[in-house]
Amino acid sequence: MVMSNTPIDALLGDHDRLLSWRERADRLLEAEGAGHLVHDLPVRSDGRATSAASRPWRLDPIPITLDRAVHEWLASAVAERMRALSVVLDDLHGARTLLRSGVVPADVLFASGAYRSEAVGSAPRRWLTVYAVDLIESADGVWHIVQDLTDAPVGIGYTLLDRSVMTRVAPTEMASAGVTPLHGFADAMRSALASCSTAESPRIVVFSGGLDHPSYVEQAYLSVQLGVNLVEGADLVVRQRRLWIRTLDGLEPVDVVLRRLEDPGIDPLQVDSYGAAGVPGLLSAARAGGVDLANAFGCGVIEALGRSGHLESAIAAMAPIGAALAPMPADTKVRLFPMVGDDGPHEAPVVVRMFAVDDGERVTVLPGGSGRVLAPGDDPREPTAGVAKDVWALRVPVRPVQRRSLPQVDFGSSVPTRVADSLYWMNRSAERAEAIARLMRTITSSFDQDPGLLEADGERRPSIAAALLRSVTTPFVGGEPEHDGLADHAAAVADATRELTRQIGSLMSEAITVREYLSATGGRLLAHLASIRASLTHDRPDVEQLDSLLADFAALAGLWNESTVRGPAWRIGDLGRRLERAALTRRLVVTGLTPGAGEPLGVGGPESWAAEITLAACESLVAYRRRHRSEVERRAAVAILIEDESNPRSLRHAITAVQRHAAAIGWTDGVAITERLSGAIDLTGVADELAALDSSVVSRWFSAPTHPVPLFGALR
């Protein structure tokens, strides 16, 4: 079997164009969070550690092409193999004729570490819902099996993402080649998952290992394409032999779990489990019919049998395959495919991963797949090159998906607690980072325009600048700043740069875990923030960098306010932004506009300079001058920043927004506290009320209160 010629072949000699395609693919992948967006992230705002390393991959722009005849033969073989593997799984956990006959030696099976005794005797509605298989083509055109992936097959999300990138990199070439689109596969997968359950309209979730999982980017992207919640172990709980998701309004049932965690990691109560990412009792709920797992628990044994060399004989004994794919011989000479190199084209072997889903009536094979480039010396089962290729199936007719008719269910008001938590801290970090960047930009610009200010008035201005910077970066103590001069200012700038870097990292950490709630445009914006953040770790920011950051923060706020549905998730996130703004505005006013509001500032003096810096840092200097057309007067400055509800940067505006959110989501404590602030705001007393609001948010939605029982007292 041979590959088909395509318009891409004519471009193999145009190396410069292919390099430009590769560079564009790099940028597009980065915008989707597949680059350094998950690299070097700090402790998150709520204290949870984020230890994810960078796991980017590069998409080589020269695709692998399969003509219609080749793809249809492969698809038929893949579908038949998936059905055969389901039969083998059913026997291994049921009748076990393969064991009794010795086709699968008992010592091999039990020594594999993948045979789950808890799965023996279980009867899932379907063993395999999702299947992946790695293939390699020999130099003589014969396709061979590298490995089956049946436990928690990885790669569908990567494949859909890579195809999305290629449709933007080479749309004309794809159209002229007749590349079969992939958009219908998400529908087929969603239908297959729904068919796992007998529920009238099942709730489906993608069960993730979290940000630290090696394939987290794929998990997040796949959940968006399927239109379902991405959940982690902490989001789920088993009660009354059912699986439930923790939401802002309490526990809600889950019917189908597409698990991205392998067998040993899904339930810490099982034998030989590892890690703490799973859900205690999940397997007992599945056995009781309280939830359906895709794939069923125990499917990982197929992968172990493949490694031991007994899988093909098991298939032959239980479900002989007509168009069988040959196992990969150890001495196979594999086909090499063209690659784009920095210095020119070269060739490398590629493993092709194909995917299929089973809805109980038919198996649907994704028209194409994902290629993974092998580095010299690689085991084909474990490529290390970090380079992918899109696999094009050419002119393959796509049958419409016969979707199961499901009644519409509106989950708009259903917000998982972890999602709300992440949105809340994401917005707090965004607001804090923006405030730091704007203050640094204002101070840096002032000193750049007039360097003499650094030493004027006995170095009082740099001392005031240091106090203002610390008011938004460190635990706050109000009052007059100490006058330590230039050294104090330099130290405060360094501290502010570190805190700005940390807050941007925290923002990214939270944003990448809730991407299904954010605008599709947000990925590109976050990628740009990440690149600026990387530069901040090496040097103090200049005005140009800070301007770029502020533009990004403005765009992020615009996407949040104009592209996010105004439901409970948005309100919780916006609560975080408003509470952070209120606290920061108060700190800046106390630091930059003290002492008393009636005292003169002194035109041109350090107090007048501090007042202007404070107004500018709160994005209110232009509004002040347009309204008053005079030098800054302390009383008027305090008024526009504290009590002026028409100013979106004022403390009053933030409190009013919090009050609206509290009323809309039934947060009684929030309503009560904000009502206490309906009169004139006292800058000292408001600090305690803001702290009470913050504490109430956490205790109301983000804490899991325990009810301890005195053990010995209970035994008496």
Residue 183 binned pLDDT confidence (cut-offs 50, 70, 90):
confident
Report domain extents, the chain.
Answer: 9-393, 417-702
How far is residue 215's CA from residue 228's CA, in Å, rounded to a whole number? 17
Would you say residue 559 has pLDDT above 80? yes
Q: Could you read off the pLDDT of 607-626 as tens digits, one per residue?
A: 889 999 999 999 999 999 98
What is the DSSP secondary structure assignment for residue 124, as one 8-state letter? -
DSSP string covering 363-375: EEE-SEEEEEEPP
Q: Could you read off the pLDDT of 2-15 as tens digits, one per residue?
A: 344 555 666 777 88
In SS3 terms, 65-89 reads as EECHHHHHHHHHHHHHHHHHHHHHH
Is pLDDT larger for residue 539 or for residue 445? 445
Is pLDDT larger for residue 213 or for residue 407? 213
Strands in 236-239's sheet, in edge-to-edge order, are 236-239, 242-247, 250-253
Strand 143-149 with 236-239, pairing: unpaired
Helices first, then strands: H and E counts in the chain: 24, 16
Range from 41-45, 129-133, 172-176 carrying the lowest mean pLDDT: 41-45
> What does the mean pLDDT of the chain come to?
87
At 661, the amino acid letter reads: H
Residue 710 binned pLDDT confidence (cut-offs 50, 70, 90):
very low
Would you say residue 711 has pLDDT above 90? no
439's tokens: 């203050």
Other CB atoms closer than 10 Å to residue 326's CB: what's the count?
A: 12
Those residues with Cβ within 8 angstroms of residue 38's Cβ, 6 or more apart along the chain or in another chain: 52, 53, 54, 55, 211, 216, 217, 512
Average pLDDT of the residues in 81-103: 96
446's tokens: 């002032």
Bridge partners of 237, per DSSP, are 244
Residue 50 binned pLDDT confidence (cut-offs 50, 70, 90):
very low
- Residue 326 has what pLDDT? 84
Backbone angles phi, psi at 332, to 5 degrees: -65, 135
At 328, the amino acid letter reads: M
Residue 471 binned pLDDT confidence (cut-offs 50, 70, 90):
very high
DSSP string covering 231-264: E-GGGEEEETTEEEEEETTEEEE--EEEE-S-GG
Q: Could you read off the pLDDT of 322-334 as tens digits, one per residue?
A: 767 888 887 889 9
Bridge partners of 357, per DSSP, are 130, 364
- Residue 413 has what pLDDT? 62
- Record the pTM: 0.84
- Residue 689 has what pLDDT? 95
Q: Is the peptide bond before 295 cis (omega within 30 degrees of 0)?
A: yes
Q: Could you read off the pLDDT of 388-404 as tens digits, one per residue?
A: 999 999 988 877 666 55
Scanning the structure block, which residue is given the tokens 């972890």?
418
Average pLDDT of the residues in 579-597: 86
Would you say residue 39 has pLDDT above 50? no
- Residue 669 has what pLDDT? 95
Q: Could you read off the pLDDT of 647-672 as tens digits, one per residue?
A: 999 999 999 999 999 999 999 999 99
